Amino acid sequence: MNRLQVDLPGLTLKNPIIPASGCFGFGQEYAKLYDLSKLGAIMIKATTLETRKGNPTPRVAETSSGMLNAIGLQNPGLAHVMEYELPWLEQYDVPIIANVAGTETADYVAVAEKISTAPNVKALELNISCPNVKCGGIQFGTDAKTASELTAAVKAVSNVPVYVKLSPNVTNIGEIAKAVEAGGADGLTMINTLIGMRLNPITGKPVIANGTGGLSGPAVKPVAIRMVYDVSQQVKIPIIGMGGITNAEDVIDFLSAGASAVAVGTANFVDPFVCPNIIDALPHKLDELACEKLTDIMGRSHR
């Protein structure tokens, strides 16, 4: 019996550890360090219809136990991802969750329709929450009606289950979660980064060229836990939780709060081996908690 196995719509995960989109490129860099087949799944970098150049530099700034980023969805575009990145990933026994981004509904639909035909893409992650682009990101995720309609439009063309990535930068995240569930979402991923800013103490100007950036890292974990805790009680679809996960204890926290799997983001930069290290540590953590399998932990905060 695999104590770490988790089953989600479209995804049978040998463990619940998934590198988060935007923090893992298309896997090639980390493949030089360890066997990607070890991972539960991989959320590849956001893919848009056309090549996207991204924002000017500086694109990152360190904050207290966190970092701000404004990469701006730089990616080589759908055709390149279909032709090179996804086929290259086929050598690994790992399901791919393709993060789909766009400027307007038609873009999202076009990317989703095509990318969901790739044999190793087992689910889509609909990116309606990127805070770092002028159009085609967060504005889709902050209005319940828009979010629901986009979800429905993508669901209609996708060959695989659709997970919607929620923004924490809203007044009521539960409302958006219920709206995308009503729109047909198979699951949620949450949370994306929190909009933040850091100023240069000498000049008084923002450090990041974009002005604002998305805050991630251990600093955001309490916010993410609260949101997973709240939303998991308001929807029936599963949640892949993320936000400041750095070790096995953090994973247990997210599963306890109501997540069914987790994504690890910024911690990959701190320690590139963090994902395999967490996977190795999880059985010991289960032993400590006198639990047979990970699924026993899920949602225990609500019981």
269 near another protein, judged by CB under 8 A: yes
Footprint of another protein on 43-62 (CB under 8 A)? 45, 51, 53-54, 57-62
Q: What is the dihedral of CA 252, 257, 260, 265, to 10 degrees?
A: -70
Active site residue 130: yes
Please provide residue 40's backbone torsions phi and psi, each rounded to the nearest 5 degrees.
Answer: -65, -45
Which among 279, 271, 282, 272 has a CA at the least distance from the CA of 31? 272
Nearest approach, Cβ of residue 207 and another protein (Å): 9
CA distance 36 to 264: 14
165 near another protein, judged by CB under 8 A: no
Interface residue with another protein among 246, 257, 261, 282 (CB under 8 A) is 246
Nearest approach, Cβ of residue 218 and another protein (Å): 5
Nearest approach, Cβ of residue 104 and another protein (Å): 22
| Count of beta carbons in the 10 Å neighbourhood of residue 182 | 14
Q: Quick one: which segment of 18-26, 96-104, 126-134, 163-171 binds another protein (CB under 8 A)?
A: 18-26
Nearest approach, Cβ of residue 29 and another protein (Å): 4
CA distance 150 to 153: 5
Contact 180, 167 (CB under 8 A): no
Contact 227, 191 (CB under 8 A): yes
Footprint of another protein on 69-128 (CB under 8 A)? 69, 71, 74
Interface residue with another protein among 272, 283, 295, 301 (CB under 8 A) is 272
283 near another protein, judged by CB under 8 A: no
DSSP tag of 166: P
In whole angstroms, how far apart are CA 92 and each of 3, 69, 247? Answer: 21, 29, 24
Size of the site for another protein (CB under 8 A): 37
What are the catalytic residues?
A: 130
Q: Which residues bind another protein (CB under 8 A)?
A: 22-25, 28-30, 32-33, 45, 51, 53-54, 57-67, 69, 71, 74, 217-218, 246, 266, 268-273
